[in-house]
Each structure stands twice: as structure tokens, then as C-alpha cells.
Amino acid sequence: MRSGVADTPEREEWKQAVGSTLTHHGPCCDRARAWLIAMGRSYDFSSTDGLALAGPRWITQRWAWGPIRWPVAWCEAVKAETIDCGVFGAFALELFRAKGIEAYPGQLLRGCAEERISHWRRKWDAIPTAFNWIGTRVVYHEVSVVRTDADQARIYDPTEGFWLEPGTQSGHHGHLAIRAEIPVPLKWGDHELVNGRWTATALATAPSG
């Protein structure tokens, strides 16, 4: 199930990228994390809805998606108006783990309509220290890998606030490959996730980059 896309991510830095982490200044960042977790409990509605695996939908509604200067500290991230998928991913991991759900960082390679990419590039070029996630027809994206069983995983996209489906339509926004930072191999639908390895998820024609 490996493809050219998975073996040759468009950029060398994607191949090596790990889940984004926010820096920690000290007490100000302790406060920020405590605030985030308490906010998560307020929006969780776990007794009302009786759901164990509800994702932190509220972060998608609260923060706009866009470029942010890296490195980012917790105290800066929570106050930012706009955050990128790396910050969304870091927030989601913190929130899943705070309620006892086993969650890990994950990265996706995703198809993207070329006519969109010029706009993303312009937006990100304005922030020189922002992470360069934009290829030509493929983009890099961060997600949360949620372990639901001994060998099963589900993938939550905190930027968009939805659970990804392992089977996918090829083309714009479809996922092409996934990499998970997990302690044991997990299955996501028919896909085998192995720690640190890119796994192709679509058999679509691999963009040449």
C-alpha cells in the first residue's frame, strides 16, 4: 500500500516532520494550558450527550485557521486569533488526553486543488517563520490519531472539526498518506499505521510534485 506520494513527500522537511509542539515559558503557559483544559470540560457535554469520543469541536469554532509565527508558546497560542493546523493539533491532543482518551500526533498528505494553492502561498508568505506546508498539488496537514481499541485508531481533524474516513475519494482534500506517532501499530480502516512511517491511504495517481 505504499505509493510514490508516501515515499517521496514533496518536501524533505515533511518527511522528517513530527507533530507540532508548543513551547512552554513557565507559569504563563501553565495558566494557558489549565484554561484550555477547563474550556474543554465546559464544552464537552459528556453527561448531557453521553459520548466518550466526542471531538473538541469548539476549538474549530473559536480559532480561525491561518498562518502563525513558529515557535509558538502556549500562552501566545491561546490568545492568537489565527492558528495553523499544528496548533490545532497540539490543542486537540491536550484536550483528548485531559479526558483520558489516548491520542497521538499524526500528519497527513492531502490533495489540494492547484488553483487554491496560490492563495495559501500568498497568505503564508506574509509570515516568514510560519511552517511551509504547501506543495504544488499536495499539502501537509496535522491531525490527531485517537486509539479506540487495542489495535484500532480513528483520525480527528481538529482544524476542520471532523473525523476522517479511511476510505476516501481521490482529488481535492482527499488524503493520500498518513504518518502517526504511536506506541504500537494500529489499524485505521484497512490501513496499517506504524510509528513514524508514512502509509499511503489512496491509490490515486501520485502527484509528481
Partner 1 sequence: MKETVFISGLYSGPSPSAGLGVARSLRAAFPSAHLVGVDYWAGSSGLHHEVFDATWLKPPWDLIEEDLYAKEVRAELDRGALWIPTLDLEVAWLARTLATHPLLLAPDEKALAPSRKPRPSVAELLPFEIAPSLDLSASDEEIYAFCRAHSWRVWIKGPYHEAVAVGDWRQLEQVRTWMREGWQTDRLSVQVHVRGYEESICLAAYDGRLCDALYMRKRITTPEGKTWAGHVGELPADLLGSIEAAVKAIGWTGGAEIEVLRDVDGRRWWLEWNPRFPAWVHGATLSGRNLPAALVRRALGLPDGPRAFSAQAEFTRVVLEVPVRSGIPLPLPAEPEHGQLGVHGKYGASLSAIVPMLVPDEAPSAAAPTLSPESEADLLATAAVVATPHRLFLPRTAEAAFARMPTVAPVEGILLRYAYSLKTSPDAEYLMLARKAGMLAECISLLEVRRALEAGWRADEIVLNGPGKWWPPTERAVDGLRVVFCDSVEELERLAVSGRTDGLWGVRLRIPGSRSRFGVPVDEPGDFERLCAAVANLPPGRDFGIHVHMASTMIGVGHWRDVAESSVAWAGAIEAASGRRVRAIDLGGGYHPDDFARLPFREIVRFAREKLTSLTAVYVEPGRALTQATMAMVTSVLDVRRQEGKLQEVVVDSCIAELPLAAVYPHRFFHLVGEQPVPVSRGPVRVLGRICMEDDVLSQGLDLPDTLRIGDRLVICDAGAYERSMSYAFGRGGYS
CA–chain centroid gap for 158, Å, is 6
H/E run at residue 46:
helix 46-49
Nearer to partner 1 (CB atom), residue 98 or residue 139: 98
> What 3-state class would DSSP assign to 155?
strand
Is position 73 an interface residue for partner 1 (rule: CB under 8 A)? no
C-alpha cell at 1: 500500500
Select the residue interacting with partner 1 from 11, 21, 54, 123 (CB under 8 A): 54
Among 2, 45, 113, 194, binds partner 1 (CB under 8 A): 45
Q: Does 27 bind partner 1 (CB under 8 A)?
A: yes
CB of 201 to partner 1, least distance (A): 16
Q: Which is nearer to partner 1, 44 or 142 (CB)?
A: 44
- Residues 30, 177: Cα–Cα separation, whole Å: 35
Phi, psi at 104, each rounded to 5°: -135, 160
Specify the residue, 32 or 134, whose C-beta has the smaller distance to partner 1: 32
Q: Is residue 55 near partner 1 by the rule CB under 8 A? A: yes
Pick one of 1, 24, 25, 30: the residue that binds partner 1 (CB under 8 A).
30
The string of DSSP codes covering 101-132 is --EEEEEEEEE--HHHHHHHHHHHHTSTTS--
- Binding residues (CB under 8 A) for partner 1: these are 27, 30-32, 34-35, 37-39, 41-55, 58, 75, 78-79, 163, 169
